[in-house]
Structure 1
Amino acid sequence: MAKLKLVQLPVPPPTAFAATGNVPLAAGCLAVSARENGLEKKGLEVEVLDPSVTDSEGDTSLADRIARNEPEFVGFSLYLWNSERSLHLAREVKSRSPKTKILIGGPEVNPDNPFVLSETGYDIAVSGEAESTFARLLTTLLEHEDIIAVPNVAVRGRDGRMGPFSQEENAAFPLTTYPSPYLAGFVPVDPARSTYLETVRGCRSQCTYCFYPKSSNVLRTLDIPETIRLIRGLKERGARELVFLDPTFNHRPGFEEFLDSIIDVNSDRQMSMFGELRSEGITEKIADKLAAAGFDRIELGMQSINKETLKRVKRYGSPEKVAEAAKMLADRGIELLLDLIIGLPGDSPGDVLEGIDFFFEKGLGEWVQVFPLSVLPGTAMRKDAEREGLIYLPKPPYRVIRTPNFSPEDLASTLFRSEDRLDRRLDETPRPFLADFDPSMRDVFLFSEDGATEEGIADFSVPGSRHIAVWWEGKNLESSKKEFFSKLRIRLLKDPYTVTDVVLRPREPFSPKLINEILMEFSAIPASYLSRTLAHRGENMLHRVVLVLPENVSFPEEWLGIVSEYVPVFREMKWEEAVRKSVELGGEFPGARILDREFHAGAWAILSENADPEAVLFADRNLEKKWCWEVLGYSEK
């Protein structure tokens, strides 16, 4: 029997205990397609890698798992955030199992994305909605026929290069063709995770920066009775939050009737819901029904205050109407996401800041999120980028780096000025992993002048987990630099896309040049989405350095001041000292790594109220996770 393994990797989180939001819906839909098209009866065994596995394992462990028993086929779903790691795993799987045929698909796989098409390690690329294409492709492969007649497919030639895509064919199958992968048993319903579902494909809006219009401007809709059966089934399986992936949730026909049906299913408000809406058509009555149905978060994208820009990018709409709809929703206790994009064609830095001021004037400033434009594959904006004068990164996150109205400096300064006006950081904050060693885990590696101890893994070639900490301890770190760097290289090559915190724990000062040398070691590993996404801040989300000062060891203030300009600094302390320093933590005083293992409710409350929450970390894993979820608010939402 032939084996197919489907893999969908998560959004890389900023810290070890942040939720990934990983729901392999695309992989599950392909598995359903294989079943519904009779491929299981033809001898194909299908497995969707469980998200609990892809969320926790490092690169080597995942490659070993995927290649185990040499499956005939492996499919990777490529998204903005996981493409480079997925392609790395494809190469690693191919090296372990050369006969395995590797397929890639997803929004990143498009004829206009030379980044993906120039990569190696996979055999076949599939673009567009893939359920029907995928079944035809697998049938052809199982029957050893020529796949040239299969649409939307590119094949690697004997010369090692990808050939052109076959004839493009837009998907037209009714959404009732394939049952939900949740109900079919391919994707678990996990109450601790959001449950993603599609009830509409296609989008009437033609926003040039968005991928959705590539599919179709004709809506293919799962009818209301079928959708309600799905929602009811998800509820019975324990779903707690439903996230509708419909491109514009309130564009579906019979929207008000649809909300009435959801209200009937969710009258006990057991499930919360999220959707992205257009402001047009939101009335007081619709707002009431959204609240009654359980929608506690809604995204409304204004994108720009400049109406000429909105026309240029085919967003259209009215800022005043967005504010009016937002007020109606906020008045009903619904949390909002109000989007503004930096770098849209026609916009200037002043337009972005004016957009923020507009929302503040309407009493909606707390809901604003501002982010730079990404010129995504498959979008009209990428096609027109040269004409629009857009220069962008050729690899994820494809962020715009220059426009006719924004220099690189303008793009960065607009983001920082937006943060000043909103009084909050808009990007994720990388949070180091400073928990103690747990022998049941593979996430703490220790190197010290005295040799590794029971407090960490000694063998740096052991495959690690998704997020690891490499501790370097000693009185004089520079004296053991050569040996440590040798071990660090082993670790980085073993799991190059694993988030890695190098934790320096000296007992006396070292030259700040040592930090630069570590950063140079990082630069030997190819850059990726995680290392680029905060590059405008001079931060690396993938490979980081942090300094931990041992308890009761003094360091010169001048030296600390210099080192803290390069890396985050934390001092080990007990609850009592952390409480005394609570107001200073994260400011003039280093952050705290709290050593106590027992929970202290009073100290917890004081630190939660007074300290910079990112400046408080814990040696105890349970306390660290509790802080991340309760204070920092990490969750699937």
Structure 2
Amino acid sequence: MSSVLFVQLPPPRFSFSQAPVNIPLAAGFLMAALGRQAGQSIRASVLEESVASVYADSGLVEAVVQRRPSLLALTLYVWNVQRSLLLAARVKARLPDTKVVVGGPEATRDNEWLLRHPAVDAGVFGEGESRIQGVVGALAQGRSLADIPGTFCVQDKARRLNLEEPLPWDLAACGYPYLDRVIGPSRSGTLFLETVRGCPFQCRYCYYHKAYKSVRPHPRRAVEDVIRWAYQPDSQVAELYLMDPSFNLSPHYRDVLRLMAQLRPARDIRGHTELRAEFLDDEDPARLSEAGVASVEIGLQSVNPKALALAGRSSRIARIARAVERLKKESIEVTTGIILGLPGDRPEDFQKTLDWLKTTDAYTVVHPFLLSVLPGTDFRQRAGELGLTYDPRPPYYVQATPCFAEDELRDAMLVCETTFDMELDHIDLPCLVDHAPDLTVSLDAADYLSKWIVDPAKKKWRQKLAAALTKAADPFIFWFRGADCRGSEDDITRILDAFFDANPHAFVHVVFEYPTRPRPRFLQRLAARTAQPATYVNKSMQSWIKGTGVLSPAFTILVHDPLEQGSRRRILGAYEDLATIVWDIGAPDEEIISQAAGPCLVSAAVKPGSPYGYHLLRTLRQRFRSSPEDVLFRDNVLQQFWLRSTNQWQPQGFPERIVMDVD
């Protein structure tokens, strides 16, 4: 019997405690279609979230190899394609007979680097349900895919493409995968719901309308059944993400909202969706609010008519402004997207877009995007004609246009950052909990490892490093602690060298806790030696990252707070744009807290309800009223209490697993 393992790797995240949102909806539909057609001849499964969204690269390889699939099926998006192909290559090195088939938005006819990747045996363009059985059967039997429309394969070391358009899949042919429990909501309780497949618009920076040649609704009964199930007390759904690209233009848009509004009294679920704001009528914002939709995304992109016309977008910006005003009156959060680097847009035009937003207040949050010249899009096919210079690898950012030089793109993004008081390369501080008996484990007993507190001088790490590399989570925290940082520089370098060789796509916080601070020159060398600048996690913000030029590794230094501004400025100046300084204030009294600066670390381990604990937390809340995120605790009980009491708590991901080797 052939076995198929579907794998969808998550978007990068920067804190392990942050709940991942990685729902393999495409794999769920494929499994439903495969089960309907193939009967018992094929055993199919999805790599579970507790593996796909936990482990770094090395652990993922081990997990797949242990399952020994005949066929490894990868769903590829811009954020996971490089990492997925690394996984494929390493699995095939261990399991040479395993075939790798790819699909998803990255699998397009013109994405040459993917089509020619040595780890890929075959791929499917567009939706795969109608062809999944044929593809799996052919690969299992060693046959060519040449007669299957909309596929490619490697046969006799030659690449063969069938560019014939496949027939659209009948969306009523199999059930919605949530109802069969093939897949479920994310660990944070988010449920992705597609009510239609396809998009009526033809934005030239987007591939979605090309992947699906028409707009086809899912059967109304199936959509309603999923919604009714989501509102059941035991569904574990906390957020319903209506993921249609233009939800308010879906045929059953208002019916869906009406059903959600009817079910809300029994169980209130937060709604989120994407809208074309210019097509909302006067009553739609109230309908969305009554249904529990708390946040929406809209695409303004630009206010420049020429750029909008070249992008295939509407220029009815006055209607967008009125719609956003009505949405905000209903207390719906509006994230307004704009794109930097559109053909036809000049620096002064981008500035006009920023000015228009500030004048109209047509946003709650502004989300600026640097144009990605994505495979399969009109902009990719016409890049030469339009004069677009772009990175040929993910995230495919535009590097220059006839209207925008490379340095002007960077400058414009920084102007946007200042205009809307945002930090584009913001990374949350690492969790600095080191007192958590219920989270601290031995390496042998740990299923995975999210934080390793280690003194390199003790040399224990040498016996544990190989196991730690395989059990490491993504994201990961190295916490180097000891008596002499300078004397441990070589060992720290060896540890991080080995880690990034094994797990190049992981996001890593590196924390230093030493009596003497690490030398800035050492940190510069360490970043230059160990960082992986070509990975998505680093390239996604490469154009405007300061200091080391990469997000990972991210350095944090714990420093005893001198409680004096001049001393602080000198220390901060030595590490400007190179590392984050966290001021250790120990077990502070009221006077120390009054002089404390953020971010700060509290070392006290007391019960929140004790007299000292109560006074400590109250005084910290008063001092850091406007920036509670700048207060961190070593004690996990205090840390969790602080997050809840200052309204920072969010749905938690998988529990930390901390290994300590500092004795």
2:585 maps to what in 1?
573
1:225 maps to what in 2?
221
**1:163-562, aligned counterparts within 5 Å?**
163-190=159-186, 192-216=188-212, 218-236=214-232, 237-268=235-266, 270-436=268-434, 438-439=440-441, 440=446, 442-448=449-455, 450-451=457-458, 459-462=464-467, 463=470, 464-523=472-531, 525=532, 527-535=534-542, 536-538=544-546, 539-549=549-559, 558=570, 560-562=572-574
**Aligned-partner Cα distance in 1 for 2:591–2:391:** 45
Q: Secondary structure at the match of 1:311?
A: helix
CA 40–581 in structure 1, closer or farther in 2 if over 3 Å, else same: farther
1:14 maps to what in 2?
14
Return the structure number with greater relative CO, CA threshold 8 A, min gap 6.
2
**Aligned-partner Cα distance in 2 for 1:327–1:187:** 37
2:656 maps to what in 1?
none
CA RMSD of aligned residues (A): 2.9
1:122 maps to what in 2?
120
Deviation (angstroms), 1:331: 0.9
**Aligned-partner Cα distance in 2 for 1:406–1:114:** 27
My pick for the range that moved more, 627-636 or 66-75, is: 627-636
Aligned pair partner of 1:605 in 589, 603, 621: 621
Q: Secondary structure at the match of 2:556?
A: strand
**Uncovered stretches (5+) of structure 1, i.e. residues with no partner:** none
CA 632–79 in structure 1, closer or farther in 2 if over 3 Å, else same: farther
CA 617–409 in structure 1, closer or farther in 2 if over 3 Å, else same: farther
1:616 maps to what in 2?
631
Is contact 1:79–1:107 with CA below 8 Å preserved after alignment?
yes
**Uncovered stretches (5+) of structure 2, i.e. residues with no partner:** 654-663
Deviation (angstroms), 1:214: 0.8
Q: Residue type matched to 1:548 in 2?
A: L
**Aligned-partner Cα distance in 1 for 2:141–2:74:** 22
**Aligned-partner Cα distance in 2 for 1:278–1:460:** 51
Deviation (angstroms), 1:205: 0.7
Is contact 1:153–1:165 with CA below 8 Å preserved after alignment?
yes
Deviation (angstroms), 1:448: 2.8
Q: Residue type matched to 2:9 in 1?
A: L
Is contact 1:500–1:544 with CA below 8 Å preserved after alignment?
yes
Q: Residue type matched to 2:536 in 1?
A: Y
Q: Report Cα offsets for 1:222-265 as digits up to 9, x if no partner.
A: 24333212211232223221111212111122533443333334
2:91 maps to what in 1?
93
**Aligned-partner Cα distance in 1 for 2:638–2:36:** 46
**Aligned-partner Cα distance in 2 for 1:281–1:242:** 22
Q: Report Cα offsets for 1:318-343 as digits up to 9, x if no partner.
A: 11010111111111111111111111
1:54 maps to what in 2?
52
Is contact 1:10–1:22 with CA below 8 Å preserved after alignment?
yes
CA 373–607 in structure 1, closer or farther in 2 if over 3 Å, else same: farther
CA 257–485 in structure 1, closer or farther in 2 if over 3 Å, else same: closer
Is contact 1:436–1:444 with CA below 8 Å preserved after alignment?
no
Q: How many matched pairs?
A: 625
Deviation (angstroms), 1:636: 9.5
Q: Report Cα offsets for 1:494-525 as digits up to 9, x if no partner.
A: 222222222222322453211111012214x4
Q: Secondary structure at the match of 1:339?
A: strand
Deviation (angstroms), 1:189: 3.0
Is contact 1:4–1:75 with CA below 8 Å preserved after alignment?
yes
**Aligned-partner Cα distance in 2 for 1:356–1:310:** 15
Is contact 2:145–2:152 with CA below 8 Å preserved after alignment?
no
Q: Secondary structure at the match of 1:341?
A: strand
Is contact 2:144–2:153 with CA below 8 Å preserved after alignment?
no
**Aligned-partner Cα distance in 2 for 1:416–1:634:** 29
Q: Residue type matched to 1:200 in 2?
A: V
Q: Report Cα offsets for 1:588-619 as digits up to 9, x if no partner.
A: xxx32332344454245336514372x43333
Q: Secondary structure at the match of 1:387?
A: helix
Q: Residue type matched to 2:495 in 1?
A: K
CA 474–574 in structure 1, closer or farther in 2 if over 3 Å, else same: closer
My pick for the range that moved more, 398-407 or 218-227, is: 218-227
Q: Residue type matched to 2:40 in 1?
A: K
Identity %: 26
Is contact 1:352–1:414 with CA below 8 Å preserved after alignment?
yes
My pick for the range that moved more, 621-630 or 433-442, is: 621-630
Deviation (angstroms), 1:216: 3.6
CA 158–362 in structure 1, closer or farther in 2 if over 3 Å, else same: same
Aligned: 1:563 with 2:568: no
**Aligned-partner Cα distance in 1 for 2:101–2:416:** 41
Deviation (angstroms), 1:136: 1.9
My pick for the range that moved more, 100-109 or 230-239, is: 230-239
CA 229–388 in structure 1, closer or farther in 2 if over 3 Å, else same: same
Q: Secondary structure at the match of 1:284?
A: coil
Is contact 1:79–1:106 with CA below 8 Å preserved after alignment?
yes
Deviation (angstroms), 1:208: 0.4
CA 606–126 in structure 1, closer or farther in 2 if over 3 Å, else same: farther
Is contact 1:70–1:99 with CA below 8 Å preserved after alignment?
no
**Aligned-partner Cα distance in 2 for 1:296–1:157:** 50
Is contact 2:425–2:545 with CA below 8 Å preserved after alignment?
no
CA 127–226 in structure 1, closer or farther in 2 if over 3 Å, else same: same
1:68 maps to what in 2?
66
Is contact 1:608–1:631 with CA below 8 Å preserved after alignment?
no
**Aligned-partner Cα distance in 2 for 1:73–1:634:** 37
Is contact 1:300–1:336 with CA below 8 Å preserved after alignment?
yes
Q: Residue type matched to 2:16 in 1?
A: A
Deviation (angstroms), 1:624: 4.9
Q: Structure 2-normalised TM-score? A: 0.87
Is contact 1:50–1:187 with CA below 8 Å preserved after alignment?
no
My pick for the range that moved more, 531-540 or 262-271, is: 262-271
**Aligned-partner Cα distance in 2 for 1:493–1:181:** 37
CA 155–541 in structure 1, closer or farther in 2 if over 3 Å, else same: same
**Aligned-partner Cα distance in 2 for 1:197–1:70:** 31
Is contact 2:517–2:559 with CA below 8 Å preserved after alignment?
no
Is contact 1:17–1:628 with CA below 8 Å preserved after alignment?
no
CA 74–519 in structure 1, closer or farther in 2 if over 3 Å, else same: same
My pick for the range that moved more, 163-172 or 328-337, is: 163-172
Q: Residue type matched to 1:184 in 2?
A: D
Deviation (angstroms), 1:267: 4.8
1:146 maps to what in 2?
144
CA 411–87 in structure 1, closer or farther in 2 if over 3 Å, else same: same
My pick for the range that moved more, 361-370 or 333-342, is: 361-370
Deviation (angstroms), 1:137: 0.7
Q: Secondary structure at the match of 2:274?
A: strand
**Aligned-partner Cα distance in 2 for 1:191–1:54:** 12
CA 604–82 in structure 1, closer or farther in 2 if over 3 Å, else same: farther
Q: Residue type matched to 2:370 in 1?
A: P
Q: Report Cα offsets for 1:50-90 as digits up to 9, x if no partner.
A: 21321111222111111114221111111111111111111
CA 24–417 in structure 1, closer or farther in 2 if over 3 Å, else same: same
Deviation (angstroms), 1:303: 0.8
